[in-house]
Chain A
Amino acid sequence: MPQIFDRSSNALARMSLVLTGLIVIALGVMLDQLQRSPWVTRQGQRPDQPVPFSHEHHVQGLGLQCQYCHTTVEKSSYAGIPPTRTCMNCHAQIWTDAQLLEPVRNSWYTGESIVWTKVHDLPDFVYFNHSIHVNKGIGCESCHGRVDEMPLMYEQNTLQMEWCLNCHRNPAKNLRPTSEIYNMVWEEPTPYRPVWCAATADKTGVPTAQDVNCTTRDPNSGEAGGQMAALQSPPGPGQGTEGAAPPIPVPIPSAAPYQKFTSQDELGHFLLVHYKIKSPRLITSCQTCHR
């Protein structure tokens, strides 16, 4: 009986084995990439919204504070989506005829909600709390990106669990003074742009945010004392790249010695201690986000 397969088919058989392996690997890599791709995470996508609301215009252009609309960000797990009334506070006076604002006026007159599409959508089994992040020195910008440069809102980060854990495993790299939470242009300290911080003794019952004062101007330079540094006015709209404290009149005890920080690592670890950030072991525990 003649051989059914030619000798060359041996090579083909071997090749097919290798190919199968490669295909399986390729499939795996593909799925892995797909899972992280913007197609799944919606990172960077700008969904259609009823009103093409521009954060850029309102934040950078007009200088609205984040909390003007997102009122409960320091108090609740939700930052809060502004009610139509918040829009109408101004738009009852200005741009009253603008075609773009028709859905807003419509909502105001009919009492029906403006139906936005969620941009930052966590899975339902994740319980994220804005207030604790904001109170512990994570700025809006750290997660949401430069909202002041977004004419249309999009998701800056994947919001996937690996991204959350990235920070929860090492929070120091993203911590900033709580006075700089709403600062869109905060930059981490460098030897050229140092940050000075002073901490007073921790008092139980007094939020940790009140224990630490930071400034970007040398408090020892005589020209501006510690008191002055803390009272720096925030940058005007579209102005400057250097961040500064919002005008919170916190008296600074004169005894507090200022420390100079020239890297995020140093500053982060300083704040980690003074903001009493829980250990990575505690904040990476499943119960932190899942119930």
Chain B
Amino acid sequence: MNTAANHAEDAIGNGVKNEKQAAAATDEPMSLAQVRQKLKGVEGKRLSTPQTKTNLRGPRLSTPQTKTNLRGPRLWRSLDELADTPEFRAAVEKEFPTAAQEWIDPVSRRGFLKLMGASMALAGLAGCTKQPEEPIYPYVKAPEDLVLGEPMYFATAHPFPTGAVPLLVKSSEFRPIKVDGNPEHAYNRGGSDPLSQGTLLGMYDPDRSQHVLYRGENRQWEEFVEAFTGKVASTKDGTGIYFLSATITSPTLARQWKAVQTAYPKARLVQYDPAIAGTWAEQGIGFQADLSSADVIVSLDADFISGPAYPGFHKLVRDYATRRKQPEKGMNRLYAIESATTTTGMKAEHRLLLRASEVPAFTAELAKAVGVGGVNPPAWDWTAEQKAYLAALVKDLKANSGKSAVLPGLYQDRSVYELALAINGALGNIGKTVFVSEDTVNPLPSDQLADLKALVADLNAGKVDWLVMLDSNPIYDAPADLDFNSAFNRANIAVHLGSHLDETGQISHWHVNSAHYLESWSDCRAYDGTVSIVQPMIAPLYNGHTAHEVLQSLLNQPMLSPYAAVRETWMPVIQKNEKVPGDQELAWRKVLHDGWIEGTAFDKTAKANVQAAYHGAVPTPTAKDSLEIIFRPDPSVYDGRFSNVGWLQELPKPVISLSWDNGALMAGALITKLGVAEEDVVELSVGNGKAQAPVVAMPGHPQNSVTAYLGYGRAFAGRVGSGQGFNAYQIRYTWAPFYAAGSIRHVPGKWGVAITKSHYQDHRSTALLGQGSGDNSLEGDEALGPRGIVRYATLDEFKANPNFAHEGERYDTPSLDTSLFPNWDYSKASTENAWGMSIDMNSCVGCNACIVSCYAENNIAVVGKQQARIGRTMQWIRIDTYFEGDLAAPRAHLQPMLCQQCENAPCEQVCPVGATVHSPEGLNMMVYNRCVGTRYCSNNCPYKVRRFNFLLYSDYETESLKLMRNPDVTVRSRGVMEKCSYCVQRIQEAKITADKENRPIRDGEVITACQQACPAQAITFGNLNDQTSRVTKLRAMQRSYQVIADINTRPRTTYVAEVSNPNPELEETPVEHDPAKG
């Protein structure tokens, strides 16, 4: 894979030169000779030349130095940009960088002219296509409730090891086509996350395994059951029968297991989830926080903002964001102590960078300072800044007793969790902002790593007869020190129940294809404990089976369906809920309809078992100059279970905007120290394990540590996931599952990675400001300067000057008569609806849920790594990350960027065929069928939000994907431009419904896909002609501003400027991590 990428890169490199010459020749008044001179030796976006290496990081600056340097480059969007290498400048001068006009097959100029001649001649005929005859397949017996063409919605839930996500699934003709949060559920109230959104494609994944296999040959499920039950029965007591399961989240499955245990007392169950094992979540999550009343939030390496990997993500983010929407009414303050750069740290007012092993010690210091008894923090040489941070934090926490929340990191030492509880207890937060319950979302808590070790010991001792693996993939993800692979061969028979014929399935004797959660009955509990019934949306596509059926086959009623089993579990509870004991069936149906069972939330009033004093040991940090390797589940593919979901693979990871790969994520300082550049290959070693990974710079990462995301390097994930990235499980051990001391060295080779961030640039910045002297950020000059792309203030500044977002040179929109073109009439008399969107920069947490939601809603194609590398991703919405300040400790501003639906749109004026035109309601419509692919519109778009189908990206062949598509949106073919449409299909649907009912469209009736998915409610959409709509009110806020409106585009999308709430005792700029001291 590595070499393939390099070859491709070389090939592209040649294309670049031509492209650059062309671009430079047209864009700038430069002679061709000058251009050639300038471009000498430039090869694409590589940072391999020595001068680049030194430039990449630039001289290290202390905070005051940084501040003085902030005249211009206060914001930058990528390391390249800050370094402002010549290559970078060449790249920004183009609309789509790198080989934007590459031919897949080399075509000579003569051949090209011939082809063009022929196509010109045929162009007129192209319109005369005769449609093929199409068949109609009507139902034989139509389902009673079906109105063909009208979608239906069903409640279900996505079982996830950190707590279920309640869902409402849109179903078109009984095919699930869109997964969204359940808007009526108290836990997530409609919000979702990228992973839950991605499960839809996971279900329709064409690479799912479709058969029961025995030694590679097709078998029937019944044959498996016969062999399995026969074997288990012959053991009498279950001796030698071992189950290895992913974390069990289903109470019914737990009940079934307990029944199996009773019948076969010697059968063993081991649960193992690589991203759960070794965390406090494996013991079940009894920890709940309610941030709606927390004024001070402290994250102890708790990345609760990035995604559902942290328990309670949806609720925590929503409450966090709600408290930031109206700064005038007070807002919360977030302190993030973190060991790898995450959006939690980027959103925090005060971020303290610590190496992972320093966090427990720091937590102990914090605990001691707030008055937790019995803590003995290990002696450690804290820097002055760290001490100042701690002092300010303690003071702030004490001042906000009962109104603060301290969140423990999931991937930290156990002592952090215990101490965080004790801190919350000492501050009087328990029962107010923090709750501890006895019950947990994981009904069978266990010590997963110890159990797994015991299993391996039993395997090696030959005690394991049948090893039944339920939705788990230990061959891929077991810790390296267990040598699971060789132990595995000691089992007599290995059974693998899984959705894919993955690494484990390949070598198991039996492989049983499993049913997806959208295809089967089950149950699970959300963060707050509320039980959701998982109901199927579609019959299993490939006759898959579930763990419920495997366990049930050993019990008295072996044929009892999962449906019956789930009903059996919950009917007593449901009946008890019924005030008037009556129709059981009706009560059950209500539960299915609502999506949850009333009264099943955990008891939060129970006296929490919080120790006043802590007696456990707190580990001493590793030496400051030693290298630490941090393991985290990937924000996009988690522990590898979503590897084959193209939407998630192509998703730029938060902060680093890396797609299709993981990498050795490290600070610029470490890159400089190692003498490497991005895309160089390094070898990470922990113990005896070694893994090679590409270098990817992560701004704000602690020096002397490297972050490796889990979930990559899959060998048998499927057509999408196989071979992407490197396998970090190779260097992960049971004794150090989330951070370990290790070493790193540079090895020869190049590893092309697809970083999507610098691909969309506005080249006018150079001309505008004429800067660019090496340590300058062109975009930074613009973003914070005249362009005002990002505008923010502190709470005090905002109170002193509520109009800060409009006070800057060229910050404001030109008056309506500055256009050559006649103005559109959007008055209420002319059009009932004028659509607009408002995005709250204060709320956006950069979790990417909107992007995946948009993929599903708008049938967006996945382009693959090579195309992503050259900037051709098709995502209609992207999250721009503008970094501010010193590289070593930056601050980031997250800005969702999508088509702004300009009222005076530059794209419309240049389309030669009228393919992009203006609607009376203010949308920029894209008429795919008229588009001839000149790409003038994209060239002229100042926001760079148009996407072009350079190749045939949409999959017209794969049958299973056809079922998934939204029938209301055209699937775009090659050569067509596309962009965000404000979900025009939803607007039209609402208009027709409202028109039939003879009423105006209600506020909130049209919800765009991105808005619907957002767990933080950062996006609001509505009618600007309705003076009472939420979007109108948001736009009327003084903080609302338009991006690049000074060029008279009059965007319909507005942004609400950020306000932060820093602690006056700490410096406004984030505390700097001083690498000289560690």
A interface residues with partner B (beta carbon < 8 Å) = 28, 31, 34-35, 39-40, 42, 47, 72, 75-78, 80-85, 107-108, 111-118, 121, 123-125, 127, 129, 131-132, 135-136, 202-208, 276, 278, 281-282, 285-288, 290-291
**A125-B929, A132-B996, A285-B920 known; A113-B140 Cβ under 8 A:** yes
CA–CA, A288 to B920, complex, Å?
11
Interface residues of B in 947-1004 (CB under 8 A from A): 968-970, 981, 984-985, 987-988, 992, 995-1000
A34 contacts which chain B residues (CB < 8 A)? 128
Contacts beyond the supplied A83-B139, A290-B927: 12 A-B pairs with Cβ under 8 Å:
A35-B127, A75-B147, A111-B140, A204-B998, A205-B998, A205-B999, A285-B919, A285-B920, A286-B917, A286-B919, A287-B919, A287-B923
Q: Is the CB of B999 within 8 A of A76?
A: no
Report A-chain residues with C-beta under 8 Å of the C-beta of B985. 127, 291
Report whether B996 and A116 are in contact in the complex, using a CB–CB cutoff of 8 Å.
no
Question: Closest CB-CB distance, B500 to chain A, in whole Å?
Answer: 32
Residues of A within 8 A of B917 (CB): 286
**Which residues of the other chain, A, contact B150 by a CB distance below 8 angstroms?**
72, 75-76
Instruction: Output the least CB separation between A49 and chain B (Å).
Output: 10
Q: Contact at B919–A80, with CB atoms within 8 Å? A: no
Q: Pick the 6 closest A-B CB pairs, nearest first.
A: A76-B149, A83-B139, A113-B137, A81-B138, A83-B142, A78-B149
B residues in contact with A282, CB < 8 Å: 831, 920-921
Per-position 1/0 for B116-160, Cβ under 8 A of A: 000000001101101101111111111000011110000000000
B148 touches A290 (CB 8 A): no
Q: Is B925 an interface residue (CB 8 A)?
A: yes
Docked-complex contact B925 and A118, CB < 8 angstroms: no
Which DSSP category, helix, strand, loop or mixed, fits chain A's interface?
Answer: loop
Instruction: Indicate which residue in B142, B830, B925, B928 contacts A85 across the interface (CB closer than 8 Å).
Output: B142
| Residues in chain A near residue B133, CB distance under 8 A | 47, 117-118, 121
In Å, the complex CA distance between A38 and B830 comes to: 39
Partner of B969, one of A135, A206, A291: A291
Report the Cα distance A35→B131, complex, angstroms. 12
Residues from chain B with Cβ under 8 Å of A76 in the complex: 147-150
For A77, list chain B residues within 8 Å (CB).
Answer: 149
**For residue B987, which residues in chain A have a CB less than 8 angstroms away from its CB?**
287
Interface centre among A85, A113, A285, A286 (most CB of B within 10 A): A286
CA distance A166 to B719 in the complex (A): 49
Task: Write the nearest CB–CB distance from A158 to chain B, whole angstroms.
Answer: 12
Determine whether the beta carbon of B996 is less than 8 Å from that of A82. no
Are B996 and A287 in contact (CB-based, < 8 A)? no
* Complex: A56 Cα to B969 Cα, angstroms: 36
What is the CA–CA distance of A142 and B148 in the complex, to the nearest angstrom? 23
In the bound complex, residues from chain A placing their C-beta under 8 Å from that of B124 are 28, 31
Partner of B131, one of A78, A121, A208: A121
A161 closest partner in B (C-beta): B929
Return chain A residues, CB-CB under 8 Å to B927: 286, 290
The docked-state distance in angstroms from the alpha carbon of A108 to that of B135 is 18
1/0 contact trace for B993-1030 toward A, CB 8 Å? 00111111000000000000000000000000000000
Residues of B within 8 A of A (CB-CB), count: 46
Shortest beta-carbon distance from A250 to chain B in Å: 15
A residues within 8 A CB of B135? 115-118
Whether A72 and B148, one on each chain, are in contact in the complex, defined by CB atoms closer than 8 angstroms, is yes
Question: Cβ of A117 and Cβ of B128 under 8 Å apart?
Answer: no
| B918 nearest in chain A by CB position | A285
Across the interface, B992 reaches (CB within 8 A) one of A78, A129, A285, namely A129
Most buried by B among A31, A82, A118, A282: A282
Whether B131 pairs with A123 at a CB distance below 8 angstroms is yes
Q: How far is the CB of A164 from chain B (nearest CB, A)?
A: 14
Provide the residues of chain A in CB contact with B996, threshold 8 Å: 131-132, 135, 207
Chain A residues with CB under 8 Å of B928's CB are 125, 290
User: A127 contacts which chain B residues (CB < 8 A)?
Assistant: 968, 985, 988
The smallest C-beta distance from B161 to any residue of chain A, in angstroms, reads: 38
**Closest Cβ of chain B: how far from A89's Cβ, in Å?**
11
**A80 engages B140 (CB within 8 Å):** no
B928, closest chain A residue (CB): A125
Query: Closest approach, in angstroms, between the C-beta of A97 and any C-beta of chain B?
Result: 21
Known: A76-B148, A77-B149, A80-B148. A131 touches B992 (CB 8 A): yes
B140 with A112: CB separation less than 8 A? yes
**Assembled-state Cα–Cα distance A40/B987 (Å):** 33
Q: List 14 A-B contacts (CB under 8 A).
A: A31-B125, A40-B128, A72-B148, A80-B148, A85-B140, A115-B135, A118-B136, A121-B134, A129-B992, A132-B996, A136-B995, A205-B998, A206-B998, A285-B925
Taking a contact as CB atoms under 8 Å apart, the answer to whether B136 and A202 are in contact is: no
Q: Tell me, in angstroms, the Cα distance from A123 to B984 when the chains sit together.
A: 19
Bound Cα distance A287, B996 (Å): 18
* With A40-B128, A205-B998, A287-B988: A116-B136 Cβ-Cβ less than 8 Å: yes
Q: Residue on B with the closest CB to A113?
A: B137
Q: A125-B929, A125-B970, A282-B920 are in contact. Are A132 and B992 (CB under 8 A)?
A: yes
CB distance from B590 to the nearest CB of A (A): 25
Complex interface: chain B residues within 8 A of A75 (CB): 147, 150
Distance (Å) between the CB of B117 and the closest chain A CB?
A: 16
The answer to whether B141 and A291 have CB atoms under 8 Å apart is no
- Please judge, given known A-B contacts A75-B150, A76-B148, A207-B998, whether A117 and B134 are in contact too, CB under 8 Å: yes
Contact with A along B918-942 (1 / 0, CB 8 A): 0111010101110000000000000
In this complex, which of B131, B138, B923, B987 has the most chain A Cβ atoms within 10 angstroms of its Cβ? B138
CB distance from B1001 to the nearest CB of A (A): 12
Q: How far is the CB of B832 from chain A (nearest CB, A)?
A: 8
User: How far is B968's CA from A78's CA once the two chains are assembled, in angstroms?
Assistant: 12
CA distance A112 to B137 in the complex (A): 9
Residues of A within 8 A of B969 (CB): 291
